[in-house]
Amino acid sequence: MTFGEAIEKAKAGKKVQRSGWNGKEQYIELATAISYVNPRGEIINAEHDVIGNNALAFVGTSGVQLGWLASQADMLANDWKEA
């Protein structure tokens, strides 16, 4: 599938990945209700006027990366699939 189709799947709650990624267990999914604890111990909800508090999370072999950004190769690829 295309990147656009993969994004729609992620927005629908699916995990998606590229066939060409080295780590076969890697995928992206939509992360919601994002918050963090600041140095003072306060819980901050990451609310944004345009995107709310949603972001793409890349789940890889080394852990989770919030706010994953697709490369041009990722955006132009047609090898996206459900994980």
Strands 16-18 vs 35-37: parallel, antiparallel or unpaired: unpaired
pLDDT for 48-66, tens place per residue? 776 688 999 999 989 999 9
Nearest to 3 by CA among 28, 38, 37: 28
Please give the pLDDT value at position 47: 82
Per-domain boundaries in the chain: 3-82
Q: Write down the pTM of the prediction.
A: 0.84
> Which H or E run contains 76?
helix 72-76
